[in-house]
Amino acid sequence: MITTIIALACVTFATRYLFLAKHLPFTIGPKFQRFLSFSAPCVLTAIWVPIVFMQNGELVTNLHNPYILGATMAILLALKFKSLYVTTFGSLAVFFVFF
């Protein structure tokens, strides 16, 4: 078990080090940089969509779902204020009021 953890840590470090080390003769082309720019939104979407729309293994789309209300408020606040704190605390307040 510890061998697997160490091996995975080495693989993770190596893949990160290739992109971060400045002295390595390795550069990323503009197409690959553009391709990588989509990874963060994709990962975040893969995290929040099941949380908001799935409960107990079922798709939930009614408007009385506090997760959907909080997510909708987060989108609206983010578009209006462009502030991380306003978006976070405002959507949490809506979520807890309806939870």
DSSP state of 22: S
For position 21, what pLDDT does the model report? 82
Task: Please tell me the predicted confidence (pLDDT) of residue 89.
Answer: 97
With 0.85 as the threshold, say if the pTM is over it.
no
Q: What is the pLDDT of residue 69?
A: 95
Residue given tokens 């789309």 in the structure block = 61
Low-confidence ranges of the chain (pLDDT < 50): none
CA distance 3 to 7: 6
